[in-house]
Structure 1
Amino acid sequence: MTVLAVFNQKGGVGKTTTTANLAAAMARNGMAPLVIDLDPQAHLTALSGLNPSAKRSVYAFFQHGTPLSELVVQLSNGVNLIPSHMELSRVDMTLTQTRHDLRRLKKAMAEEMLAEGATVLIDCCPMLGVLSLSALMACNAVLVPVTAEYLAMNGALQLDQTLKGMTSMGQYRPRKVFINRYQRGHPTSEKVAAELTRRYGKEFCRTRVFESQSVLEGIGQNQDVFSYAPDSEGAEDFSYLLDELIETGFLKVAA
């Protein structure tokens, strides 16, 4: 099965909405995904309508060694979520970038067999610290959302260097890049799409997730796009993205 880190070294590119809506698409297809909110801003947790205490969030795993399986919350849309809390920001200050600390998440997931029979999505914070590096160590693939603007593309290029560094240490992670909030015919959208196609080739998804009012409105209602507007173009885009990730073998699913 796949442990997928959703990451770009720039904020505001749609990592959280991608994680939420891709997980919802998986749940609708009977895949029972597990999502870990590893961002101290806890936007994914809030989007899911949750407001847990620190001791009922992933912070408790890092701070107190609470088993991850004890922190899982089942959402009404069929997604299982390990929520976040703003106290998680302390982890980057208290833990070090040593092999032991960076492998804690990967080790716990393996020991608790959390990826057995389920796809795991990790919503990462944009800062390259202990949390994001822990996600990169725990995952076996990286999905990179890039909004159709230049600074988001620069964040993806910075991530290229991070992944190259991991590869040099024997920690290769395949990646897929996709364009988010795309506007057909908009000059910047078209230029960014062309540059991503040139730079990433087969690593760049054919699927383009368009700028979508239904996705934005769903966030305002603490709902994924499938719960808010299942027949919308936004829901269709994320369904296509999931199909492409499966068809290309990037996302492994149970037979």
Structure 2
Amino acid sequence: MLAYSVYGEAGGPGKTTISGSLAAAHARHDLDVLAIDLDPQNASLSYLLDVDDDREDPDVDHLVRHLIDRPKGSFEDLIRTTDHGIDIIPAHNALSGLDDLLDRVAKTANDMGEDFDPTTRLREVLVEFGVADRYDVVIIDPSRTEGAGLYNAIAATGSLVVPAEATAKGKQSVIGLEQLVGGLEEELGGIDVGVLAVVPNKVDKRSGTQRTYLQDLQEVAYPVPVEIPIRGALFDGAWEHRCSPYEFVEEHRERVPDRERETLELIDELAATIEAEADL
């Protein structure tokens, strides 16, 4: 099974757009895909893939309940399937309080002489569900801020795909990857964290400054399989119609520009490169 979290420290690199695009690409490669939305922001993967209708309902079962051992139903019932074959566990507003909720459960467990690691709960729940036997690919879209959501995502997947802009901020975020990975490994008690790919996104090669930063990104110690160009109409259209960019061009475009087809081919190439890491 291939499992990874899409994460970068810097804001604005298109983390959720990349997550949804890769989930769709893997599904189009005839792989069984489970996406997990751990981002409490409203403009999250659940919104993009049009499965966020229950996120404000306090009475529904949701992932946070399962992480704190207070489920209202089976884990399988949390899973929604999109029209294009991606299974997704949607985000719920309860994610905004995940740190406090897990800390309370951990304190109670400690008082009772029991073990409860608030950073590995998602991994435990997924193992109990048998996710490795059910899916070929698991993608987690966590919050950009450090905390229980991010730690659980990394502990569950052990691997990162890192979107980065070809800017000074993006360069610094990639330069700091080694320190970030080391910090996550220490926080998670020695779990090895690997970087499957750094993905320069929103690239404009007409910009001399961006060309310089792209060259710098190509020299980092992590794989940089493709560079995703600026495609505002393509990706904004996907957000407007709440679908992956593949569905946007197939169902909402009368004429598809060659540059958009080429961008989708780059996403396919990125997905295939990541799949090769797990011999899929």
TM over 0.5: yes
Q: Does residue 11 of structure 2 align to residue 11 of structure 1?
A: yes
Answering whether residue 202 of structure 2 is matched by residue 195 of structure 1, we say no
Deviations 1:144-185 (A, max 9, x none): 111222223333344432311344643112102111111123
Q: Which moved more, 1:92-101 or 1:146-155?
A: 92-101
3-state secondary structure, aligned to 1:5: strand
TM-score, normalised with respect to structure 1: 0.89
Three-state SS of the structure 2 residue aligned to 1:151 is: helix
Match of 2:253 in 1: none
Instruction: Give the counterpart of 1:87 among 83, 94, 97.
Output: 94
| Partners of 1:82 and 1:103 in 2: CA distance | 17
Q: 1:229 aligns with which of 225, 237, 249?
A: 249
Which residue matches 2:124? 107
Range 119-128 or range 42-51, more displaced: 42-51
2:110 maps to which residue?
Answer: none
The higher radius of gyration belongs to 2
Unaligned runs of at least 5 residues, structure 1: none
How far apart, in 1, do the equivalents of 2:190 and 2:97 lie? 29
- Tell me the residue number matched to 1:118: 136
**Aligned partners of 1:3, 1:30: CA distance in 2, in Å?**
16
Q: Is the 8 A contact 1:39 1:123 kept in 2?
A: yes
CA distance in 1, matches of 2:220, 2:25: 28
Distance verdict in 2 for CA 1:186–1:35, change over 3 Å:
same
- The amino acid of 2:95's aligned partner reads L
AA paired with 1:129?
Answer: G
Indicate how the Cα distance of structure 1 residues 69 and 189 shifts in structure 2: closer, same or farther if over 3 A, else same.
farther
Instruction: State the shift of 1:227 in Å.
Output: 0.4
| In 1: Cα distance, 2:66 partner to 2:9 partner | 24
SS at match of 2:198: strand
Q: Structure 2: where are the runs of 5+ without partners?
A: 107-115, 251-255
Deviates more, 1:154-163 or 1:218-227: 154-163
Helix, strand or coil for the counterpart of 1:152? helix
Matched-pair identity in %: 22
Aligned length: 249
